[in-house]
A and B are shown apart, each in its own frame.
Chain A
Amino acid sequence: DTGVSQNPRHKITKRGQNVTFRCDPISEHNRLYWYRQTLGQGPEFLTYFQNEAQLEKSRLLSDRFSAERPKGSFSTLEIQRTEQGDSAMYLCASSRLAGLDTGELFFGEGSRLTVL
């Protein structure tokens, strides 16, 4: 399967613990995006990368959140000192530079975080 892959698919953690999610984009895609989706809501933009450069971060991304894409391939999203309000589905998406104006982001199946 050559789609966007996310791991783990589900993570249950206790408040205050750190968690890390990994995203492997479609191999030839330069752009990588992280979104957060809560129940009954649309995905909300968190941040995006072009190759290894993080070009934009949403105000939703507090200091407890950090994202990296060290070699312009896979990306990680780390949440430190998790809070119950962090419980959500974290979606990763990728796109080609050539398709920037087509609105086509290819999404993974998401990593669901539950903070107890």
Chain B
Amino acid sequence: QQQVKQSPQSLIVQKGGISIINCAYENTAFDYFPWYQQFPGKGPALLIAIRPDVSEKKEGRFTISFNKSAKQFSLHIMDSQPGDSATYFCAAIYGGATNKLIFGTGTLLAVQP
């Protein structure tokens, strides 16, 4: 039972382009939606996060767009750089303070120079 669905599985973008990764969830008990970035051989690291009462959050070149009614959210990477090449995971947290993350399946991003 996959509670957070992520697409695409892989993505190739030219340097300077916009990378877009989409996620959808089913459980309305989720109340916090972080994105994690993972480089090969490393553990995932928090990139940016959003609450469902906010429609958009921007941090530098990274923006999360959130559509509560559609139960969808997406990560936009503006001016993508080769150093952004990594696997990106969307995630969701259940209501309450457990910090138990439910991850999507991941998107392997390759930014070509």
**Residues of A bordering B, CB below 8 Å:** 4, 31, 33, 40-45, 48, 55-56, 91, 93, 95, 99-110
Contact = CB atoms under 8 A, between A and B. Distances in A.
Nearest to A91: B43
Nearest to A48: B100
Contacts, number: 69
Interface of B: 4, 6, 9, 32-34, 41-46, 49, 89, 91, 93, 97-106
Given A42-B105, A45-B102, A103 B46 contact: yes
14 contacts: A33-B99, A40-B105, A40-B106, A42-B91, A43-B103, A44-B103, A45-B100, A91-B44, A95-B99, A101-B32, A101-B93, A103-B93, A104-B46, A108-B43
A31 B99 contact: yes
